[in-house]
Chain A
Amino acid sequence: MSFMSPAVRFQNVSRRFGSVRAVDNVSLDIEPGEFFALLGPSGSGKTTCLRLIAGFEQPDEGHIEIFGETADGVPPYRRNVNTVFQDYALFPHMTVGENVAYGLMIKGVGKAEREEKAKSALAMVKLAGYESRRTAQLSGGQRQRVALARALVNGPKVLLLDEPLGALDLKLREQMQEELKSLQTSLGITFVFVTHDQGEALSMANRVAIFNEGKIVQVGTPSDVYERPTSRFVADFVGSSNVLSPEFAATHGGRAAWTSLRPEKIQIAPQNALVPAACAHAKGIVTAISYQGAVTRITVATEKLALIATTPAGTDVRKGDSVSLIWPKSAMVAMGEGA
């Protein structure tokens, strides 16, 4: 092989439901071994993209390739791709072990061998010994592990996860994030997951595709999309951001373009503080202070617009104070289009 074909390739893929373009001319390469996130608000087309990879949907236009082979017209059961469903979709009339062994049973793997494989798959997701349990007896987190084992036991080339952590509580979610990451690293399988939670996408994925209204608006590493958003939508959706108008940016050390400025890049200083040469500043009055545990969010009304700054907790700024906001000019990221 002289070149490596991408794990998943979308070429100008569109999928319409009635008059709605759920997926609108999407082109995308997901590389082998990547932990790839499809991030976007609900209805943005990310889940439809996942279903297109799984084969539950067929594109109306364009082509999809999975490891260099066309997926056009290939039904889900002939794709070497497995899915962890959002509601896990465990078979209620089967035990945990039967659930995990289902794919192998369908492939005609002998009983002893598939039980052995199901057992080790369950051990991999830390559910050793749960083979004969009923799925109704499991907690949400355990069900998800079963769903994961049921998919992975088939040795898929690509594992698809639909909002994998959506139904779990915060503590469990953080724990599963770590586990999914280490599982992905140790197995080396391409993971593609759908989420609307930007924190989840940033912390788990190698690369993120951000969807809005059926289109991909930006693809990049988590730090790419966070540090260098190319549109107001991305700047707003991934973390929170101050979006500066072209006029404001131009008069405050930036270019005459819509500009993103992350709240944590802004320092709050006394009104007459010295401004370093590499920095820009704006004066204003503190209008709101919101304590958020690790950080404090401070809203400052400047002459032109209100800016939000986050500082480590324990600031002595009070509401009504006149302050100076100082930020490095390099922290101002000009965005491509005005949208």
Chain B
Amino acid sequence: MSSKANRSTPLGLRISAIAGLLFLHLPLALIFLYAFTTEEKSFEFPPPGLTTKWFGVAWSSRPDIWQPLYLSLQVAAIATVLALIFGTLAAAALSRARFFGRETISLLFVLPIALPGIITGIALRSAFDIMSIPFSVWTIILGHATFCIVVVYNNAVARFRRLNGNLVEASMDLGANSFQTFRHIILPQIGTALLAGGMLAFALSFDEVIVTTFTAGQQTTLPIWMLSELIRPRQRPVTNVVAVFVFIVTLLPILAAYYLTREGEHTGGSSK
């Protein structure tokens, strides 16, 4: 009896945990709720009525959504591909080599995600200015790639470190060149980590605002569109509909990434 009492969480802790969860997630619930409200000018609580018409409106009579959506998907996709290539290469290099300054370089790779977005944004903006690079879709993509690489790098480097170096030698010993070894031995073992890193990178890029503000020219990504939409008085719930969409588009990859890396750790452990 007493051991059971010891194991159960104290009431006070439970209440604060629940309060914390509510604090984090109630605003999310409100976003969902207001996507269904009948009041279009202000967010009145409780909503006077519920309707699904805003989904229809967003879909058919708001063409201004599609351009930002398309741009956000494009930016996220290209930034993710860049991150997958460079993040994997960096992880492969840094997990294999032992040299002076290795930890420093590793830190430099991770820094963009630790730095406030505003610093990254200002730094990139002035760099683009100095190099007289006009702001375009590509400057947004480059800006996003800085932190997308980190996510891929972090995922890949952890897996590379677990990868038994002898496997690469064994593969080469059995006649495989570097490319074949990567294809048949390394890729199958870091694949889930890359997929997870890629999905996280995609999700991060898709809803990024700060770096985008600094690196975009006239282009509007979906999060920026939402921000500008909040000021307008008309059809407010449409913004919420888009928010729900963004929520789903970013949550699903993050969840998938979570399960992929968890499974990876599991199989990594069982093969020992």
Contact = CB atoms under 8 A, between A and B. Distances in A.
Interface of A: 54-56, 75-77, 81-83, 85, 87, 89-93, 102-103, 105-107, 135-136, 150-151, 154
Nearest to B170: A89
Contact of A91 (B170, B175, B177, B270): B170
A6 B164 CA distance: 33
Contact of B185 (A81, A82, A91): A91
Contact of A92 (B176, B177, B189): B189
A75 B174 CA distance: 11
B175 A89 contact: no
Contacts of B175: 77, 103, 106-107, 154
Contacts of B171: 91, 102
A339 B164 CA distance: 40
Contacts of B167: 89, 91-92
For this complex, into which size category does the number of interface residues on chain B fall?
20 to 34
Given A76-B169, A83-B169, A93-B189, 17 more contacts: A54-B169, A56-B172, A75-B172, A77-B173, A77-B174, A82-B174, A87-B166, A89-B169, A89-B170, A92-B167, A93-B188, A102-B171, A105-B184, A106-B184, A135-B271, A151-B174, A154-B174
30 contacts: A54-B169, A54-B173, A75-B177, A76-B173, A77-B173, A77-B175, A81-B173, A82-B173, A82-B174, A83-B169, A83-B173, A85-B166, A87-B164, A89-B166, A89-B167, A89-B169, A91-B167, A91-B170, A92-B167, A92-B271, A93-B188, A93-B189, A102-B171, A102-B174, A103-B174, A106-B174, A106-B175, A106-B180, A106-B184, A136-B270
Contact of B172 (A76, A92, A93, A136): A76
Contacts, number: 65
Contacts of A151: 173-174
Interface of B: 164, 166-167, 169-177, 180, 184-185, 188-189, 267, 270-271
Given A92-B189, A93-B189, A136-B271, A85 B169 contact: yes
B115 to A, nearest CB: 36
B96 to A, nearest CB: 13
A50 to B, nearest CB: 11
B184 to A, nearest CB: 7
Nearest to B169: A56
Chain A CB within 10 Å, residue with most, of B171, B172, B174, B188 = B174
Contacts of A135: 271
